[in-house]
Chains A and B, each alone.
Chain A
Amino acid sequence: MNKYLFYPGCSMESNAKAYMESMHTILEPLDIHFEDIDDWNCCGATEYLGINLIPAYSLIARNLALASKQINGTHTIAASCSACYLNLSKADHYMRERPSLCVKVNEALAAGGLKYKPGTLEVRHLIDILVYDIGLEVIRSKVTRPLTGLRVVPYMGCMLPRPDYKHRWSDHEHPTELNDLLRALGADVVDYPLTTECCSGHMPHIGPETAFELIRRLVSDADARGGHLMVSVCPMCQMNIDAYQGEMNHFFDTNYHMPILFFTQLMGLAFGKEPKELGIGTELVSSRNALANIGVEVPVEQEPARPRRKDEGLPMPRRWTKHEARKDAVK
């Protein structure tokens, strides 16, 4: 029995529900037990750090303090979201590097009856645990439905292999962990140099032009390399590439259809689970055609209605595209 503390993070309960469901289906066959940190709070993502330093680190450290009270045979926290993973490890690392930060954060925590000594816990990502603790051999032995013939694009994202305070990853820019894992499942792994490029994080809400350009690079390259689908290890990456692909397509007047699934969903499929148990079908860019390559049938669900291309009927604000932005510039 491999036991770990688990920090789910807010996305796992909403936009990345499929990640949570599929993760739980693969834990059992691999003999892993996750114990949730009781009453965990948001890690603050990339937003809180840009507002106030001490409150941001106190917010993160509350989770570490709560987890350190639950240490029972393990002192490792597993996180499934790259941003949560980074924030938790960042707080632990900087509290050690800068003792004055540690003192202040602990003073704030003390107001709530908590304390945290940096170094008490080890923060690790789910894929790190699967590849290095469980091992690819064990994972390979559980495969009952190899993903042979499925061309997958491994997309690692940026916040996982970087900045890498504890030197856990094989490389900062071209790590191989995800590729190795997917290969162990029998998938045909596409060589994807953009694997650790940024998905744009929260940029779709801040500077959509900047965000769409980053999403376009990732999707167009995955498409040009003949990938059937992309594979993600982070709720934020999945959300940006899946949910904003439609708006990005409209913005650039392109027509990409690049589904993106979580690696746990593919592991579940390879372990012989049914798509329904794995939350397959909740992605907005349907993976139905991609999964047909390995003979997996995804139940048909009604596709969301396409927006009208032409302004007809009642006067509505025109949809904003790069083309129109250019036309406005010429005027």
Chain B
Amino acid sequence: MPQMTDERVRAGLSHEEDLSLLNEVSMKTAGVSHLEMCIQCGTCGGSCPVAQDMDHTPRMLFAMLRAGMREEVLRSNTQWICVSCYHCVVRCPQEVHIADVMYTLKSMAINAKLYSDSTAPDFSQTFVDMVEISGRSYEFGLASRHYLKHFPLRLPGMTPMGFGMLTKGRMLLTPKKIKNMDQLKTILHRAKQLELTS
């Protein structure tokens, strides 16, 4: 790891120039992330439909990654606000896989338990739980469990919608289950072991 130079200490920089975080994120991302190629042009933030609700724009976040600001990066709400619309991905001149980097940051934030609002991580986890139980997503179970915990005050306003979805047969009360659930469970069990060793 490079040492802090005197100049950096005098300038009050608290972070060492340490690319290990950048490399870690890059390695954990599916495909070739091109993260180290970012030229800080800001096309991503400018293309983002939800940048106004983010703590940091993607560009800023990538600069922080490069600066090794692990905790600040993982605590940022940016990766949780990202709606995966891939606008930034197709516009990025350096072909950084921005949306996939966001997925990596989500899983790193969950593993490090660094997130300021648990709504999004809980939703992801509940969704995954449902899939691991039956092999299919189960909206009714997902919605009721998630909304009772995180948005109880929205429930009265949502009754017409829920009622409509149920009476029009668009929401199933019981989960659908795949036939070979044992096979899926075995695959996911092995995959989780592999995830830990990688």
Contacts and interface: CB of A to CB of B under 8 A. Distances in A.
Contacts of B160: 246, 304-307
Given A158-B87, A202-B123, A284-B164, A15 B139 contact: yes
Nearest to B120: A206
Nearest to A107: B194
A101 B99 CA distance: 18
A27 interface: no
A206 B119 contact: yes
A46 B136 CA distance: 14
A119 to B, nearest CB: 15
A178 B127 CA distance: 31
Interface stretch (A91-99, A146-154, A184-192): A91-99
Interface stretch (A52-60, A226-234, A267-275): A52-60
Contacts of A217: 49
Given A17-B169, A41-B178, A158 B187 contact: no
Nearest to B195: A54
Interface string A202-215: 11011111100010
A198 B184 CA distance: 31
A42 B133 CA distance: 11
Contacts of A164: 90
Contact of A282 (B110, B163, B169, B176): B169
A15 B171 contact: yes
Contacts of B49: 197-198, 214, 217
A305 B194 CA distance: 51
Contacts of B167: 304
Interface residues of B, number: 75
Interface stretch (B15-23, B24-32, B67-75): B24-32
Given A48-B131, A208-B154, A54 B194 contact: yes
Contacts of B125: 51
A159 B80 CA distance: 18
B195 A41 contact: no
B187 A112 contact: yes
B198 interface: yes
Contacts of A101: 30-31
A250 interface: yes
Interface stretch (A67-75, A125-133, A287-295, A316-324): A316-324
A304 B188 CA distance: 41
A98 B124 contact: no
Contact of B106 (A51, A109, A319): A51
B62 to A, nearest CB: 18
Contacts of A247: 154, 157-158, 161
Given A54-B198, A57-B191, A208-B154, 5 more contacts: A55-B195, A163-B90, A200-B83, A246-B160, A247-B157
Interface of A: 10-11, 13-17, 39-42, 44-55, 57-59, 62, 90, 93-94, 97-98, 101, 104-105, 107-114, 158-159, 162-164, 172-173, 197-198, 200-203, 205-210, 214, 217, 243-244, 246-247, 250, 281-282, 284, 304-307, 316-317, 319-320
20 contacts: A10-B137, A10-B176, A39-B179, A42-B135, A47-B123, A51-B106, A57-B191, A58-B188, A98-B30, A98-B32, A158-B87, A162-B87, A163-B90, A163-B99, A198-B83, A202-B123, A205-B147, A210-B83, A214-B50, A319-B157
What are the 4 tightest A-B residue pairs by CB atom distance, in nearest-first order? Answer: A50-B106, A198-B85, A162-B86, A108-B191
